[in-house]
Amino acid sequence: MEKLPALKDLYNGSVALAKENDLNILLNQEPNKKWIRAHPMASGVKYIPIEVVEYLLTSIFIHWSVEVKEIQVIANSSVVTVRLHYRHPNGEMRWQDGVGACPIQTAKDAPATDFTQVRSDAVMKSVPAAESYAIKDAAEKLGKLFGKDLNRKDAFGYTALQNKFDMATPEQMNYIDLLRNKTTLDESQLMAMENEMADGVTSERAAVIINLMEMNRDNTTPDLSTQGSINNTLNFKIDNDD
């Protein structure tokens, strides 16, 4: 696994301080506001320039390339389909497709579909522009950092992923151990839980197990929800052992 740049390093233009990070979380951080531009032709539409997209691709993946899959004319526009290849930090080569279109300019006041009035440099300009749009379209699919949700009213937050796969804490495991002897669950259920925990469980799963054991707890035992109660439980066990 190669090291990924930290978000602040991308913001500041410094990738020398890159550190280990989760790729999906990094790719779905908000883009730096300095990267965002207002579209000159479409009101209220935002975009990230191609030079920023290329900088991010190089900073995060190092090795990437663009394969032009198809160039065609649809209506009065050049349409380019590309495949963006990039090396995942785990060393695996992956790809993402993108499509971009750019109008073919005609002479002033001429209909857009009158190809007898196409300007001499129109195709030379429209095809590279369409390719740039296609590269950006492919990159946007990688995550919010590349502008995925810039023009969406509703966007999903990915920060919850940071804690989703954290392993159970020692406090959770100790609490489960205390509940183990104070539950009405039968031995087969407890054995299934113990087998699951032997392979390791996340903090989220441990919370589910605790909730289940508390719902099936022997009500004749003291409350275990506080540290004081835990101490009372230990004293209760000692007294009963005597």
Measured CA to CA, the distance from residue 206 to residue 163 in angstroms comes to 13
What ranges in 79-226 are assigned the alpha helix state H?
122-140, 161-164, 170-180, 187-198, 203-215
Give the per-residue pLDDT at 123.
85
Of the candidates 22, 49, 18, the one whose C-alpha atom is nearest the C-alpha of residue 147 is 49
Residue 90 CA to chain centroid, in angstroms?
Answer: 16
Give the per-residue pLDDT at 14.
58
pLDDT digits (tens, 9 = 90+) for 22-39: 677 888 888 998 999 987
pLDDT digits (tens, 9 = 90+) for 189-217: 777 777 777 766 777 778 888 888 888 87
* pLDDT band with cut points at 50, 70 and 90 for residue 230: very low
Give the per-residue pLDDT at 18.
40
Measured CA to CA, the distance from residue 118 to residue 120 in angstroms comes to 6
- The alpha carbon dihedral of 49, 55, 56, 58 has a sign of positive
Q: What are phi and psi of 157, to 5 degrees?
A: -90, 135
DSSP element (H, E) containing 94: strand 93-103
Dig out the tokens for 3 from the structure.
């090291």
pLDDT digits (tens, 9 = 90+) for 122-137: 888 999 999 999 999 9
141 secondary structure, DSSP code: T
Residue 164 CA to chain centroid, in angstroms?
Answer: 12
Give the per-residue pLDDT at 4.
66
Give the per-residue pLDDT at 227.
47
* pLDDT band with cut points at 50, 70 and 90 for residue 20: very low
Asked if residues 96 and 83 have their Cβ atoms less than 8 Å apart, the reply is yes
* pLDDT band with cut points at 50, 70 and 90 for residue 11: low
Question: What letter represents residue 103's amino acid?
Answer: P
Query: What structural domains does the chain harbor?
Result: 7-162 (3.30.390), 165-241 (no CATH)
Give the per-residue pLDDT at 235.
54
Give the pTM: 0.56
Give the per-residue pLDDT at 94.
93
Among 5-19, 136-150, 195-209, the range of highest mean pLDDT: 136-150
